[in-house]
Amino acid sequence: MPALPQFSATVFTTDTAALRDLYVELFELDVVTDVGWFTSLRRGDGDWELCLWDPTHETVPPGAGTTAGAVLAFVVDDVDALAAAAAERGVELLGPPIDEPWGQRHVFLRDPAGTIVDVVQIITPDPAWLEANGIDPDLVPSPG
């Protein structure tokens, strides 16, 4: 039996199957549990899960089926390829992929349930930016 996750995030959606398929395809997540109204996803043997839950199910208290203020983030190897695959599926991109001086190339998208997802690729940070912000380069993740 796999260990229980140490963290999980939930996205409420009335179409758990479609959202499951999107996250499985784009982010290479594995289905751990799928009972129709509730699905849990995990990458490999990670200690976290992404849960998809139908807010109309009897177990969801009234008013609890919203995620205002939530942003999910996934680290991927190729943000441009993922952005293209998401766009092909009709997923809304909230702008083009951009490089950040702290060592990230990322793009924001909105999944069909309305959840904002920050898709991040680790890139080489700008040494001048790190120095200007007092960040030790040895503490910054390396690309690849």
Confidence of residue 1 (pLDDT cuts 50, 70, 90): very low
Please give the model's pTM, rounded to 2 decimal places. 0.80
Average confidence (pLDDT) over 35-63: 89
Q: Quick: pLDDT tens for 97-130.
A: 999 998 999 999 999 988 889 999 999 999 998 8
Give the single-character DSSP code of 138: G
Does the domain made of 70-139 have the CATH classification 3.10.180.10? yes
pLDDT at 2: 56
Fold identical between 1-56 and 70-139? no
pLDDT of residue 67: 64
Distances (CA, A) of 131 to 102, 103, 127, 134, 143: 10, 13, 6, 5, 19
Residue 121 per-residue DSSP state: E
- The answer to whether residue 65 scores a pLDDT higher than 90 is no
Residue 63 CB burial class (10 angstroms; 0-12, 13-18, ≥19)? exposed
CATH class of 1-56: alpha beta
Domain boundaries, the chain: 1-56, 70-139
